[in-house]
Amino acid sequence: MGEKNENMNSNSIRPQIVYVAILFFGLLCFLKIMHLVIFERGLYTGTSKECLDKTKDGWDTTALARDPDCKCTVVQNDITPTRGEIYDDQGRLLVGNYAIFDITLDGRMLMPNVYQKGQKEIVNDTIYCGNGRNISRYGEPAKVDALINELATAFYQMFHERFPNKSLKFYKQQFTKAIKEQKNALILRSNHVNDRQWITSDDTAAIAKLPLLCRKRRSGLHYDVFQMRIMPYGELGKRTLGMYYVPDDEGLAPRKYGIEAAFNEYLAGINGAQKALYVNHTRIPLNDRTDPIDGFDVNTTINLEIQNIVHTELQNILIDQQAEWGCAVVMETKTGEVKAIANLRANKDKTAYYEAEKNYALKAMVEPGSTFKLASLLAYLERTTNDTAKKYPILAHTFTRKSKSGKEYSYFKFDEKGRAEASAYPIEAFQRSSNVGIASMVFDKYSKENRNDYLNKIDSMFITTSFKTQLGQIDPPNILRKASDFHSYYNTCFGTGFTMPPMRTLVYFNAIANGGKMIAPIFVKSITQHEDTIAKFEAEVISEQICKKSTIERAKKYLEAVVYGEFGTARRYRNPNFTFAGKTGTRDIWDEKTQSYLKNKNSVSFCGYFPAEDPKYTCLVFIYNVSKKSSIAVKVFTNIAQRIVEEANTVNIQEVDKEHGRQMPRFYPIPSSQAETLLNGFGMRTNQNYKSPYIQNKVNHPIQNS
């Protein structure tokens, strides 16, 4: 009985001991928590005097910054926002974000797990490969080698074409370093400046199926993620869309240009911030966090189809003519919206052309040549009520001019060597692009001795004034205004002896097409965030009316005569499917070394608008360093215009009338102006009134015999 009582007493005491022990342990925990809260709170919140706060100004001059034993620091890490994207005028992505990766395997995560079980120390050296495959590090060394070889071979097969400098031996070394030596090993790094060497999400998905790496972080697998800018359509508009940076880790300096740079304030967003505390090398995130604000989206005026047309047609002629570079711009006449802009430069052997880093259309200072004759024509027409009353010298002429002392000097000028002097009305002189004729017209209405009157006139029409665009300043022509010699005056009349950007030519030609209203080109029309519009932009009006309306109407007839006149320099490129007007330009290239013009090297151009009767688009083509003359620029212009007209009209296709009769095979949409020829070839009736510019028939559509 006594023994039974002793057992009962013993059993009742044990729970009490456990209870007291738990209570005591809980009290110790509570006291420790209170100690941390009261006495060490500042240490773990970063507010302690023992913590070096690197987020404060002047932290590097404090005593803690010089204390080698300081083990508590507060840092602030920026949180990068997602950069805004760039779209065309139909909402199609032109520049977007793309995630790429660097691959690291941290072998420290694969170290054997050592723990105590009673008095015995247990070492678990198992490498867990996933899918039930386990390897003992020390017990199965051959299987460890097989795993390394399997991973290295998989990586080599996956990446050897993109990373030819990475051998199978390299991958074996890196996986050996991670798995056997339990060190942090960089397996593969994306090349930020070569998109062929980007490691993408498709690659990481394939890697996730490999043994060991399928366990992701438990295997030590780590991805450093980088957001890269991509252009889904490659070279199309690349220079205008621009670049905001090039990573320095490849030895290239950062570059900023184009829309990416000009609208960076909208695209970049605002960085967020996260404060973190490091105590004894342990990172503790703090509550002090500011979320990033993502960048806004930029909606451009660029039209993807027109951009493709302009890029392709310009590239074709540059390759064919082995030009040094060329640019082409299409602008919507009424709005100033730039629908396409290409700036192409040759590679070393001129076998391919790429978007240049320089925006030639906006920044290249080149002699405009004969396209500038429109400026002289406007100056002439402004002081001429009847431009059919007088003929002027063309082909060759001897000009006379008096000096200030009254002495008369003679200057013989010619358009072509060996040609005798002739005369013609102004519209013929303009058609022929006669230097002698244009200069004669200007000299007749302005002082021959002093060109300031002439320069003041073209200044008043804003042809020579500077203006701003969303992509930067358009510089004025660098005409030598203080030059008083006859040659400088004569040359200025037809665009020689000074330089200016091609875009300036486009702007004042567009003013003629637009009834005299001059507007600056616009590249971006709105900034948006999701469904909200943050900002809208419209083209800046440089002048509501650059000259008299009567002058504009007469000038249009001159520009049409260049195409449809008997002597027009663009007459061979008339097109039955659309009308256009404009002016050709050819200039010898000035050589700084020899201080002379190179007769076999030309810059050629054509600037005009279409349709001629109701202009919708104004287009400039400029090609630098070719042996041929301006006809090749006209060819590019007409090819561009033809394809734009076709693109616009295919949405409005008329079918051939449905009548019983002869069977006719299916044909693709064709201009209605060609319908008569086609149907006559099939022996079909053609007395139909086509309301659409394009027609099309159905498969086996019956057409009545004529």
Using pLDDT thresholds of 50, 70 and 90, give the confidence band for residue 665.
low
First vs last C-alpha separation in the chain: 133
Provide the pLDDT for residue 38.
Answer: 54
Amino acid type, 49: K
Provide the pLDDT for residue 17.
Answer: 76
CA distance 315 to 343: 10
Provide the pLDDT for residue 274.
Answer: 78
∠ CA 433-479-555, rounded to 5°: 35
Angle of helix 549-564 versus helix 373-382 axis, rounded to 10: 140
208: Cβ contacts below 8 Å, ≥ 6 apart: 214, 216
Query: Looking at the predicted structure, is the pLDDT value of residue 348 above 90?
Result: no
Q: Which of 617, 678, 542, 32 is nearest to 341 (CA)?
A: 617
Please compute the mean of the pLDDT values over residues 275-301 and round it to a whole number: 81
Using pLDDT thresholds of 50, 70 and 90, give the confidence band for residue 76.
confident
Please compute the mean of the pLDDT values over residues 39-52 and round it to a whole number: 60
- The long-range contacts involving 568-574, CB below 8 angstroms and separated by at least 24 positions, are 568/431, 569/431, 569/432, 569/433, 569/630, 569/631, 569/634, 570/606, 570/608, 570/631, 570/634, 572/631, 573/631, 573/634, 573/635, 573/637, 573/638
Q: Looking at domain 304-647, which CATH architecture does it have? A: 3-Layer(aba) Sandwich (3.40)
Query: Looking at the predicted structure, is the pLDDT value of residue 437 above 60?
Result: yes
Query: Looking at the predicted structure, is the pLDDT value of residue 505 above 60?
Result: yes
* pLDDT tens, position by position, 138-195: 889 999 999 999 999 999 999 999 999 999 999 999 999 999 999 999 999 999 888 8
Please compute the mean of the pLDDT values over residues 379-395 and round it to a whole number: 95
Using pLDDT thresholds of 50, 70 and 90, give the confidence band for residue 672.
low
Neighbouring-strand partners of residue 628: none
Provide the pLDDT for residue 404.
Answer: 76
Provide the pLDDT for residue 541.
Answer: 96
The pLDDT > 90 percentage for the chain reads 59
Query: Looking at the predicted structure, is the pLDDT value of residue 662 above 90?
Result: no
Tell me what the pLDDT averaged over the chain comes to: 86
Lowest mean pLDDT, pick from 159-163, 261-265, 650-654: 650-654
Using pLDDT thresholds of 50, 70 and 90, give the confidence band for residue 658.
very low
Query: Looking at the predicted structure, is the pLDDT value of residue 668 above 70?
Result: no
Q: What does the chain come to in residues?
A: 706
682 sits in which H/E element = none
> How many C-beta atoms lie closer than 10 Å to residue 565's C-beta?
18
Give the start-to-end residue ranges of the domains of the chain. Answer: 2-70, 78-299, 304-647, 653-703
Query: Looking at the predicted structure, is the pLDDT value of residue 523 above 90?
Result: yes
Provide the pLDDT for residue 210.
Answer: 94
Provide the pLDDT for residue 10.
Answer: 60
Using pLDDT thresholds of 50, 70 and 90, give the confidence band for residue 700.
very low
The pLDDT > 70 percentage for the chain reads 85
* pLDDT tens, position by position, 86-128: 999 999 999 999 999 999 999 888 888 877 777 778 888 889 9
* pLDDT tens, position by position, 546-600: 999 999 999 999 999 999 999 999 999 999 889 999 999 999 998 888 888 888 8
Query: Looking at the predicted structure, is the pLDDT value of residue 684 above 70?
Result: no
At 438 the three-state DSSP class reads: helix
